[in-house]
Amino acid sequence: MSGKVAAVAREVQVSEEGLERVRTLLKEKYHPRDHEEAQELILMACQDIQHILGWVSPEAARLVGEHFGTTENRVFGLLTFYADFRTQPPGNHFMLLCHGTACYVGGSQRLIDELRDNYGVGDHETTADGELTVQIVNGCLGVCDIAPVIHLDHVYHGDLDVPTFRQTIEEAKRRGPAGGHHEAH
């Protein structure tokens, strides 16, 4: 990619088929026995939905609210508090970039700078061409011995410097859109 591109939020709706999968998931997997248990299951259900859709859309949040006897607002309040959740659809490729202490010492800041300068994306953003969504993991992916490490389209890549980082992204793009769901990590 050449030059800078601004990250933009895209207006996308989940297809009726996607929502149907969410309805099925809730109906088949979540049977709270009482109100307390229902509340306990909201976050788990949102995780599952993100596994299926790659994000949690407002419509999906409404379905969660209806299923567990709470409001869409409440569900959305959780989605925006917890860093794992995405309330925008991810791009064709999804990257978790670990910025834990070991990765920092190994130079993860340089990778973050590279994304900002040459791909025009930061945390929880998608490139303007819709190719790459980045989530910076402030905690830790827990594979510190190959720091700095990323998790791109479900695969770990470690011991990165800026050239190998670039190469990894470009190779993923050449392979085309990652299939299946975007794992919430």
> What residues line the site for another protein (CB under 8 A)?
36, 39-44, 46-47, 68, 70, 77-78, 81-85, 99-106, 109, 137-140, 142-147, 149, 156, 158, 183-185
Q: How far is the CB of 93 from another protein (least distance, A)?
A: 18
Q: How far is the CB of 134 from another protein (least distance, A)?
A: 15
Q: How far is the CB of 150 from another protein (least distance, A)?
A: 10
Q: Which is nearer to another protein, 41 or 131 (CB)?
A: 41
Q: Which is nearer to another protein, 121 or 131 (CB)?
A: 121
- In angstroms, the CA 95 to CA 114 distance is 14
Q: Which is nearer to another protein, 139 or 177 (CB)?
A: 139
Q: Kindly state the tokens that stand for 160.
A: 């990165």
Using a 10 angstrom Cβ sphere, with 0-12 exposed, 13-18 middle and 19 or more buried, the burial of residue 123 is middle
Q: Which is nearer to another protein, 112 or 131 (CB)?
A: 112
Q: How far is the CB of 159 from another protein (least distance, A)?
A: 10
Contact assessment for residue 59 and residue 89, using Cβ atoms and an 8 Å cutoff: no
